[in-house]
A and B are shown apart, each in its own frame.
Chain A
Amino acid sequence: MPIKTLEVIRKRLEDRPAELNKLRENGQKVVGWTGYNVPEEIIHALGFIPIRIAIGGDDRLVEVGGRYASSKNCVFIREIVGAFSENEDPYIQQTDILAFDATCLQNFRAAEVIEYYFKKDVIVLGVPRNFYWEEGKEYFGKEADEFTRLLEERAGVSLDLTKLGESVALYNDIRKTLKSIYSFQAAKDNVISWVEVFDLIQAGDLLDKKEYLALLHQTLAELQALQHNPVIEVDGNDARIFISGSLIPRGDRKLINIITSVGGRIVGDDIWTGILPHLDLDIKEISPAGVALAYLNRTPHAALPYLDLESDRRLKKLHELLAEFKAQGVIYHTLRYCDPFTFKAKETKDVLAKSAIPVLEIHTEYAGSDYEALRTRLEAFVEMIKIKAESAAEVTV
């Protein structure tokens, strides 16, 4: 049974660019942000409209972006640069100020290229590589203060901590609700798919936050009415797939479509555009530094190096999520020249092999030319999981 609120959200997304245009005509400013550690609550509390810049899947824009950056930058970054060059995306058109962070250095370079060629007003938040050191955290706190100061200059107001507290409460509620909804997609006899939840998460990048929260509550209520007690367990017919690795932004559906078309069922992810950034964000102090540090203390982005394998929180979280969602295999997806994830592909595979979790590496870009090649790999992987499950079932019987 379709979830009615999802249809409402789709409609609201269609209307949103025109709505943003109107709001801007009335004096509001849109901050387009990208970066794993950008503390969005600060942008929101200063009265800006935050819009996440995360688009992908368009090989033409990748080509255009490569002319300004280079063909050796990841396809996501190239597409972002290409999108600013073409200025056809309805959300990119509405951005007044850009807020980037230096978590991924290619993201940082994209900020410079966009600033240089397209004369955009860009604010950059520095991010420490030694993020687990006290000194690194202190540096990041100061960067957050500077980030806030630069935003305040553009907002023409100082940050009101009461408003920041309200934004934090709003965002916390969004995160909590998303997490509740997410568990429904992985359940036996699920009434909502992972793809639908994935779209729902990404809708939050664009919609008004208060309205988004209300729609999330409405979605959750619908789900609870349809499935009172979702139970996550392996069903004999499924090949339960978990997606890890590079981000999959709005517009990029290639991998997801192929997985589902060859009979795989996606039940979880730890990607930057999925559920991961919404997990484990614990804001202990209502201040720019307090909010920013909570972002830094989440499961870190792969661009931030962890020098000790045993204590790596990314891998720990991956194991936790695989267990929670009872995944039978991991698709480790990397975009061309996305080094943070690509460089760790073999290692991740080796680590998961110790837990007998099969991993398929998929290295791709936005061009459709490798569609059949990917299909073969993914189909074989799904076949492998199903054969393995069948043999296990036969042995059990």
Chain B
Amino acid sequence: MANTDLYEYPPELREEFEATEAIQFRDGSSATAADVWHFMTEIAPKRYPFAYTQKKYAGVRLSRDIHLPSAIKNHYLLLTMNDRITKSRENGAPVIFVQGGQSVDPYYAAGGIALRPASVGLWARGRHEGLGLNEEVVRQHKQKEKAYHAISFEACQTAGYENIQEGGLPIDMVAPFTCLRCSDISYGVEAHRHGPNKAVKLMNIDYPMRHQADKKWAVEYFAQNLRRLTNEIGKLAGRDVTDDDLSKEIRLHNEGRRLAIETAELWWSADLPPTNGVDRRSLYQMGGMEVHGDPSASLTVLRESHAYIKERVKKGIKAEGVVDKPIRLFVCGSCVFPNDFRIEEAGAIIVGQDNHWSDISTLVEEDGDPYQNLAHAILSYPYEQSVELRAAWTIEQLKKSRADGVLFLYQWGCNTQSAIARMLCDTIKRDTGIPTMIIEQHEGGSEQSEQLLNRVNAFIEML
């Protein structure tokens, strides 16, 4: 008997969907739209029932904008993370834990697979099949608690400790950019040294602070960090990494970044929102090409989606479930975002976020020394500059996205974004008059408390 609590894609959509493009993977293989449809309608509901929840309060649900192929393909790539990464690793690609909000060009240039914390969580999640939503969240909590026991319950970022040290996830290397947006990450990397998994290599890619992009020696130092990084990954992958490898990867990733910027500009220019908030975020995110653990796959889905968005904007097509003139919210801060479904029910929509967008929207110079170019671009991420510079960039995004209000969210225990929150919001208010609201999220898991959502809703009502 079918589980009526789970969402089912409408069968009548099949033909339309199967006519869309195949996903091309980095190893040369591909998944046709028919493969994707089969997996998402026949296999995944059994292996990963939690993803098909229809619970009203769950923040992570399948997008209901079923005519947007990227929505289904994005979920497909997320739900096949374990299958794909396990296979790639067996074929010799080392897997590296990285930080969110950083580019991943050098990791792939050296033959590795870079997974940010959320993606590592997705890989780990994929190894536990048949769980309903509550069971999956309980599993995650229990796992995270193990990291808190080994590190501290005040830790926000545990650098994947719960999965890599306690969960047996075969990550080969932990090598994030440190100091970037989060002060916990370098301690999280360090914590791995006392975990049971001694095989995992540890490295901090040291992000210098304070006017970093203007200091030649800081750029040079970061470029040296990147060289060491590609060298170490190359050793794991069993290959020499040339400058040309990095140049090629930068060009590939620049294509993703450019597409994301163009997609965002199209989205922002539309009178009616062409997608819902969940799909918008995943589209922008694909430009960073790190979210699925396969840049080629992200890029093919993004290319196809870009054409759909262009068409929708041209024809004035509004995404299903979004009101005509929603209140437009821009989210600042890191690692957390409010429940898009509840926000849209309240008559608003999230139009952008500074987190991740900072690195995705930073293009890398393609001529010259690729390490220097990449280092300079990375040290120029607007999110990582002084508060005045970060605010100036944020204001530019607010204007482009025509945001009505700013929500600054940070996770409980986040030392860095919490310390910046007031300064950034005060500057935005001072320079634009746009209302801002700061919220600390205490909960993990699939649901946010009514207390948090009440505040967001009151803010929307005020706007």
Contact = CB atoms under 8 A, between A and B. Distances in A.
A242 interface: no
A124 to B, nearest CB: 5
A339 interface: yes
Nearest to A109: B419
A70 B422 contact: yes
Contacts of B410: 72
A296 interface: no
A392 B280 CA distance: 68
Interface string B225-240: 1001000000000000
A116 B423 CA distance: 7
B155 A135 contact: no
A139 to B, nearest CB: 4
B179 A105 contact: yes
Contacts of A346: 149-152, 194
Contact of A343 (B178, B187, B218): B187
Given A130-B204, A343-B152, A346-B150, A108 B210 contact: yes
Nearest to A145: B217
- Main SS class of interface, B: helix
A10 interface: no
B217 A70 contact: no
A112 B418 contact: no
Interface in A92-137: 102, 105-106, 108-110, 112-113, 116-117, 124, 126, 128-130, 133, 135-136
A130 B413 CA distance: 24
A69 B151 contact: no
A75 to B, nearest CB: 12
B152 A342 contact: yes
B419 A136 contact: no
Interface in B291-342: none
A139 B189 contact: no
B217 A139 contact: yes
A305 B221 contact: no
A306 B418 CA distance: 26
A33 B218 CA distance: 23
Most A C-beta atoms less than 10 A away, residue of B150, B154, B189, B220: B154
Contacts of A73: 415, 418-419
A340 interface: yes
B209 to A, nearest CB: 5
Interface in B187-214: 187-191, 193-194, 202-204, 206, 208-210, 212
Contacts of B151: 343, 346
Contact of A126 (B152, B189, B193, B218): B218
A315 to B, nearest CB: 11
Given A72-B414, A105-B183, A128-B221, A339 B152 contact: yes
Interface residues of B, number: 49
A316 to B, nearest CB: 14
Contacts of A347: 191, 193-194
B419 A106 contact: yes
B191 A343 contact: yes
A30 B353 CA distance: 42
B82 interface: no
A105 to B, nearest CB: 4
A129 B178 contact: yes
A307 interface: yes
Chain A CB count within 10 A is highest, among B150, B209, B416, for B209
B416 to A, nearest CB: 7
B96 to A, nearest CB: 15
A245 to B, nearest CB: 12
A14 interface: no
Contacts of B217: 138-139, 142-143
Interface string B166-193: 0000000000001100011011111101
B44 interface: no
A337 interface: yes
Contacts of A74: 415
B215 interface: yes
Contacts of A70: 415, 418-419, 421-422, 440
A70 B416 CA distance: 9
B155 A343 contact: yes
A70 B425 CA distance: 13
B17 interface: no
Give the most central of B206, B224, B412: most A CB within 10 Å: B206
Contact of B202 (A71, A102, A109, A307): A307
Contacts of B221: 128, 135-136, 138-139
A41 B190 CA distance: 31
A67 B421 CA distance: 11
Interface string A60-96: 0000000111111110000000000000000000000
A386 to B, nearest CB: 30
Nearest 7 interchain pairs by C-beta: A70-B418, A142-B217, A105-B183, A305-B190, A139-B221, A72-B418, A109-B419
13 contacts: A70-B419, A72-B414, A105-B179, A113-B423, A126-B218, A133-B228, A139-B220, A146-B215, A305-B187, A305-B189, A336-B154, A344-B191, A346-B152
Given A72-B410, A340-B187, 7 more contacts: A67-B422, A72-B440, A108-B209, A116-B387, A128-B206, A139-B221, A142-B215
Interface of B: 149-152, 154-155, 178-179, 183-184, 186-191, 193-194, 202-204, 206, 208-210, 212, 215, 217-218, 220-221, 224-225, 228, 386-387, 410, 412-416, 418-423, 440
